[in-house]
A and B are shown apart, each in its own frame.
Chain A
Amino acid sequence: MTDVETARAASADAAPALDVRGVSKRFGEATVLDGVDFDLRKGEVHALLGENGAGKSTLMNILTGIYAADEGQIAVCGAPARIRSPSDAVALGIGMVHQHFKLVMPFTGRENIRLAAGTARAGCDWVTVDARIAEVLRLTGLDVDLDVSVSALSVAERQRIEILKALTLGAEILILDEPTAVLTDQEAERLLGLMRDLASAGHAIVFITHKLREVMTAGDRVSTLRQGRMVMRGRAVTEVTSQALSVAMIGEQETTPIARGASALGAPLLQVQDLSVRNEGVGVVDGVTLTVHSGEIVGLAGVGGNGQRELAEAVLGLIPSTGSIALHGSALTDGSVSDRRAQGMRYVPADRTGHALSPNSSLAENLAAAAVRTGRLGHTFISIRTILGFAKSLINAFGIAGAIAGGRRPVRLLSGGNAQKSVLARELDDAARLIIAHSPTRGLDVAACRFVHDRLIEATARGAGVLLISEDLEEILALSDHIHVISRGRLATTENAKPGREDIGALMLGHA
């Protein structure tokens, strides 16, 4: 037996580190966690799988004292525990490495650890903290420069500082939230090794991930959350297949495609060739090639933060990119957004209040903004009456509720669904030829989702093409004629134009 196998065998009957029973959490009407059971043993790496919105973050936020559970019990090391604040969690030896690091950038790693330690427990003088850091470094063999500004370090190094911070604060239970999502393959390998080492040393580790391969190589047991329920609880990785995991995570009910008129594939509208975007020297979009035809919805599936926003913004011309983009068959030479919009490109961004609307301007102004930009509503002067009249027809056509006083009130007072309707009303005009819609139904109720989908389909019936970027697999499967999967800025495509649910799941999980 190798060391790892010995450790895995030992962990099966190891002492419990954490026992969660029947935990539920509701936000208003929505039940985010529904009677979840979860257990964690000392010395194991326990992988936690689940789509975005499955409830993983909520569960972890309950364990780290950020939220309070509505129902259920939690026991830490066999003793019932009440975790009412983050400091309670630290005192119980629970540490978490968030996806967005909680580090003060200009500070050194040591200063960051001192900052966190200095207030976690009274009487933590720096000499003691430094001694503990040294001890943790010695025990774990972690290698990172603690005396340079964190901003000068790589993401992987920052992550190591976060891990070191949690361990220095005395974490026996370590929760890592999608730690490999931001790492290169080599860095990820190294992290997985570190996790195994920590487990061997007796730590209990919760490893949240989307990647099946990592579950298989680094995990001892695996649990899967779907829509707030624990659908697979604490199975040994040796006993499960990746197919079973994929099904557990995504579900297996058939999605009925939304009925659409015969989609006669028209001419190519958008041809993207080898598009790359670099952000601070790091490639976030890497050699993407795709085509959207007239009358077609091209779905782009993938876990959030894999380059979707950058891809959309590069196609629109908001951020610089390399490679070529052709619209209506002719390559774009003018980089300006206004030129691309003039040729019928439209954008429904994921963050509607942040990237599409002017929250303090009126609804009418927001609806009319694109028409004002092109000069349709007047070359130099624009009357309020023109804007209100223009907006009125859109408000009626799209049924934007809450448009009090003919749309004179600020758009920030609208609900999420109506805000999204107002973005669609503006972007899906008759001249719209290519629509980039990014998570167009996020946060909307069923009726609003349906409405958005119908509008997109209507647009294709008029001959427009849609690039639908979504993390919602159901949405992609229901609407798309052609599906791509984006993972770490690269497109992963199967032989089929419309791959099946399992294939997509595998591609999203970086398995193929």
Chain B
Amino acid sequence: MIEFLTAWLGSLPGFMTPLLLASLGLLFCERAGVLNLGVEGVMALGAMTGAVVVLAGYGTWTALAAATLAAIAVSIPFMLAVIVFRAPQIPAGLALVAIGLGLSEALGRDAAHKPFSGLQALPWPDTLVELPLVGRMLFEQDAIVILALIIAVIAARGLFRTPQGLRLRAVGEDPATADAAGVDVQLYQIVAVVIGSALIGLAGAYLSVGGSQIWTEGMVAGRGWISLALVVFAQWMPIRAILGAILFGGAEALIPRLQALGLEVPVYFLSMTPYLLTIGVLLILSLGTRTAQSEPGFLGRAYIRQDR
């Protein structure tokens, strides 16, 4: 039992991290009022870019940086469409999914199915790693796991404790009031989507460079969609996103562990839990008062200042 728990807990951060990074990225976009459905495609592009760069002989950190840049680059047409031209965000986001998935397939074909050596666990002393239960969870992890948690804390502080965060949230809640207070609505949205895309790209790159150390088509496997759900589940709060990522990632991590025990588990039903939980949360919140919901008030809508 201890052995099982140790292994499960040890694998949990690896499952948690991409979900956390992607949902933090989305959280930035959505707090500024931009619904970015493109996350699944942007993650795929990040995963592919990371793998290609590592296979080309560059270091893992270069690969992660390249993935974030690729993610930002692919989001530029999306930003242009929804922020500057106020195109409807839902179809524009779906188009971004297609472009991201398509590019990752087209550009990553030569890199597919080639194992490589990616991110390594931080070199903690063996005695720590071998601690029962929490040893592997805490001390057999790579730097990105720690970084993701730090980013979550920074995001929470940045959004809720700085003037820039206040303005960014104002843009997503009530752009007319933000505009009246002198905030450049579109600039803040662009900054939010750039930061968001970078984090989403990093999340994707972590899947290939960090987790499986191989790139295959379709390896994102719905994690982008789960991240969209996770943001709702976390009610647009970065710290709650950590809890959500642990919960959703924990459920995901459980499946291979249970299978390793040779148990007959309803794998697919277990995988449904994040989705069903999120729908449940949405329903419960809708029954409550309006103030209980923290969905940004202007999410997904286009703000156009009435011309004077």
Contacts and interface: CB of A to CB of B under 8 A. Distances in A.
Judged by CB atoms under 8 Å, the answer to whether A and B touch is yes
Interface of A: 66-67, 86-87, 102-107, 111, 114-116, 118-120, 125-126, 149, 151-152
7 contacts: A104-B177, A107-B170, A115-B177, A116-B181, A118-B166, A118-B167, A120-B182
Contact of B166 (A66, A103, A111, A120): A111
Interface in B151-195: 163, 166-167, 169-170, 173-174, 176-178, 180-183
A272 to B, nearest CB: 31
A106 B181 CA distance: 16
A218 B294 CA distance: 41
A263 B180 CA distance: 53
A125 B163 CA distance: 8
Contacts of B290: 151
A-B complex: 9 closest residue pairs judged by Cβ atoms: A119-B182, A118-B163, A104-B174, A116-B181, A104-B173, A102-B177, A151-B291, A104-B170, A115-B181
A102 B182 contact: no
B221 to A, nearest CB: 35
Nearest to B175: A104
Given A119-B182, A126-B163, 7 more contacts: A102-B177, A104-B178, A106-B294, A106-B297, A115-B167, A125-B163, A151-B290
A152 B291 contact: yes
A67 B308 contact: yes
A114 B178 CA distance: 11
A118 B162 CA distance: 10
Given A105-B173, A105-B174, A151-B290, A115 B297 contact: no
B166 A115 contact: yes
Contacts of A118: 163, 166-167, 181
A151 B297 CA distance: 12
Contacts of A107: 166, 169-170, 173
A67 B307 CA distance: 11
A114 B161 CA distance: 11
B33 to A, nearest CB: 12
A364 B154 CA distance: 58
Contacts, number: 54
Nearest to B182: A119
Contacts of A102: 176-177, 180-181
Contacts of B166: 107, 111, 114-115, 118
A109 to B, nearest CB: 13
A385 B297 CA distance: 44
A105 B172 CA distance: 12
Contacts of A105: 173-174, 297
Nearest to A87: B182
A119 B167 contact: yes
Contacts of A106: 173, 291, 294, 297
A contacts with B: majority SS: helix
Nearest to A125: B163
B111 to A, nearest CB: 45
Contacts of B178: 104, 115
A125 B161 CA distance: 12
Nearest to A280: B290
Given A107-B173, A114-B166, A126-B163, A149 B181 contact: no
B30 to A, nearest CB: 14
Contacts of B308: 66-67
B170 A115 contact: yes
A66 B306 CA distance: 12
A67 B176 CA distance: 17
A66 B179 CA distance: 13
Nearest to A86: B180
Nearest to A106: B173
A27 to B, nearest CB: 11
A219 to B, nearest CB: 28
A87 B181 CA distance: 9
Interface in B270-308: 290-291, 294, 297, 308
A185 B55 CA distance: 75
A103 B177 contact: yes
A104 B33 CA distance: 14
B183 A119 contact: yes
Contacts of A104: 169-170, 173-174, 177-178
B177 A149 contact: no
Nearest to B294: A106
A35 to B, nearest CB: 22
Contacts of B180: 86, 102
B166 to A, nearest CB: 6
A119 B168 CA distance: 13
B181 A119 contact: yes
Contacts of A149: 291
Contacts of B183: 115, 119
A151 B293 CA distance: 12
A111 B174 CA distance: 13
B283 to A, nearest CB: 21
A125 B290 CA distance: 32
A323 B173 CA distance: 38
